[in-house]
Structure 1
């Protein structure tokens, strides 16, 4: 592949790991990395945690030093938005008017904050949390005594609530479902977390669809669908993310909830691959397709896409895994908890050790662990092996997960 050109569209984790893998595995052609942001690529997990509390700096969040890109002859194009992908002529057009030809391209355009319904009122008091600049803007409001509304009870919202409470803010979490994490972890575990957050001073308000958010002279007014009203100093929106598929769709690529790829990260267009939060990938356990918005998925998919570009015939079928730090607890989740029809819990959040096993029938499909890293990592491996378990043994708090395994390679379709 000597003297060929690869363009990486997007300045996040997937693109950086793709660039790194290309160089490590012998690609010596041109590599362009186009990022619409002015910052060098940075890590997102600290944005809702250490960046808000001041425990980490902007420099701490950098994925690589600027010299790292120069040393590997990766042409960093910061503040360079790609506004057209021409798959027939293999070129990209920049918003500035320039055109760059390529032999292979990687779409790693990520996702953006989802603004639900009538909440599209972005101002200096109604803020999203997705980018480094978002985190810096939010941090300026998080002073002791400030009232903060967190709209959305998912992991980003929970991490933000934890950081705001650490700084002495008054925090109200709004969730339209019956419990935090309802869509990812289910009602049973969500209620347990809701009680935990309440014990740590967060006002958790569930079953509350927000009808309107309005800025006022002294803050923000939030109106619920049932007419209730709250007044706060600042509101942060964290109800999820939508994939940035516009570039791919305009180029004629197959798009559904994300850019569709095969098991080798290849899109429907020859010579074009995709990785990270923007991707709709084959689901390795249940079949069908899924879109995964986790750090580990973006990292590993960036690596897999680069290897596919180099002609490696490897299948990307990792079971998802991610972590979250909240109120001093390390929370890890593996697999597909949202596919479960039963959950078995052990321990308690009050004791700082808690595990939830998610089952589809007798098949292990997900595991959540609080300060239980070994349980989650074992669970992730077993999910990949498609094990079935003895639920009676699993429910026995004295038994190990490995003791409950009955068989492998079960059908979950």
Structure 2
């Protein structure tokens, strides 16, 4: 019998794990240990509706606080686990607590990548990862005119869209030669670049930062061309890193993620890992992958809990992601790495279209812009691994759904 199940981390994955444990009528004690002083909450709205004040902090939380007011659940928030003793099945925390477990779920998530450039520690240089970050940015931004965003990935562009709509001058600095270069095709990059420029964003691509300048507070950013970009406030979004150190220190296998099997189990049968921190086998792509995705976090939590409760299930989801920028919804199904052909379905000028990525005749990914039907159909076709007649699909009269049965 499992008397104590401990969850380390209090993000999306942890919140879903607790909900799933309740649904499975888990009878043991559930112990939640989280670094932040908050119960599990949604991160995607941080760079969108919470930043723009469209929603309050209460609407970020996955469940109301009363959901956790249960004798079965014990919470240690604002608490950091510093060590795991696998032999004694014991956790050590930063404030001296010793927490024992029968089963352990690591939902340690990820952290921001920081930049190490002269002046990067000046006041006014911010990162956006948690509630506290956004509250700090919102407390300063109203009085600021010139906002500079470092990085043109999902987060950087979402923040650029929101802040431009709030009426500030926005400059985006990106070292790559196109936006979202890691995840979308050149056609999609071009579309979003035009969109941001049309909304008044000063988009600087192929740009390296030389220094952040200012006395105590940021004043300007010197870039590789020698120009100094005025900056009253800077928001950095250059990616995240998985939190794997705790797992590595206790002897769990890691490799840019905590390595798990298709049941979300580590090389220790009593320890599971879920969410951004994991490297898991993909049935779709026949390799290990690490995903930074809400959907992945939620589904892995369900799989881990099912297996802990004795219900054998494996994780076999097609990855998917989304990004909201202005009135555009970008939905991505699958992973486009290694594609050898693309096909555009729909009309780009109508602002409702999809870019389909193929490898050896198989659909491996789709970027759908304001095109939910293609997104949904793509997920099924990617999972099916069908070989498609691409020359036929190139015909503008032929729809993707014609290949789905």
TM range (shorter): over 0.9
Q: What is the CA–CA distance in structure 1 between the aligned matches of 2:293 and 2:162, rounded to whole Å? A: 20
The match for 2:85 is: 86
Q: How is 1:335-346 mapped onto 2 (pairs within 5 angstroms)?
A: 335-346=334-345
Gaps of 5+ in 1: 408-413
1:89-137: CA deviations, max 9, x gaps? 1111111111011000000010011123427824541111100111111
Q: How is 1:150-165 mapped onto 2 (pairs within 5 angstroms)?
A: 150-165=149-164
Once the two structures are overlaid, the 10-residue window that deviates more, 126-135 or 137-146, is 137-146
Q: What is the CA–CA distance in structure 1 between the aligned matches of 2:73 and 2:66, rounded to whole Å? A: 10
The size of the alignment, in residue pairs, is 405
Once the two structures are overlaid, the 10-residue window that deviates more, 223-232 or 99-108, is 223-232
1:110/1:276 contact within 8 Å kept: yes
Shift of 1:74: 1.6
The match for 1:330 is: 329
The match for 1:9 is: 8
Report runs of 4+ in structure 1 exceeding 6 Å deviation.
none
The match for 1:131 is: 130
The match for 1:410 is: none
Shift of 1:227: 3.1
Q: What is the CA–CA distance in structure 2 between the aligned matches of 1:120 and 1:90, rounded to whole Å? A: 44
Q: What is the CA–CA distance in structure 2 between the aligned matches of 1:248 and 1:93, rounded to whole Å? A: 13
1:142/1:167 contact within 8 Å kept: no
Shift of 1:386: 1.1
Shift of 1:365: 0.5
Structure 1 residues 220 and 256, CA gap change in structure 2 (3 angstroms): farther
1:186/1:338 contact within 8 Å kept: no
The match for 1:387 is: 386
Shift of 1:394: 2.2
Once the two structures are overlaid, the 10-residue window that deviates more, 11-20 or 390-399, is 390-399
The match for 2:147 is: 148
1:281 aligns with 2:280: yes
Once the two structures are overlaid, the 10-residue window that deviates more, 227-236 or 25-34, is 227-236
1:393/1:404 contact within 8 Å kept: no
Q: How is 1:6-405 mapped onto 2 (pairs within 5 angstroms)?
A: 6-71=5-70, 73-118=72-117, 121-143=120-142, 146-216=145-215, 219-348=218-347, 350-404=349-403
Q: What is the CA–CA distance in structure 2 between the aligned matches of 1:258 and 1:119, rounded to whole Å? A: 30
Scaled by the length of structure 1, the TM-score of the pair is 0.93
2:119/2:213 contact within 8 Å kept: no
1:151/1:175 contact within 8 Å kept: yes
Shift of 1:349: 5.2
Gaps of 5+ in 2: none
Shift of 1:216: 4.0
2:333/2:367 contact within 8 Å kept: yes
Q: What is the CA–CA distance in structure 2 between the aligned matches of 1:199 and 1:364, rounded to whole Å? A: 32
SS in 2 for 1:47: helix
Q: What is the CA–CA distance in structure 1 between the aligned matches of 2:181 and 2:280, rounded to whole Å? A: 23
SS in 1 for 2:276: coil
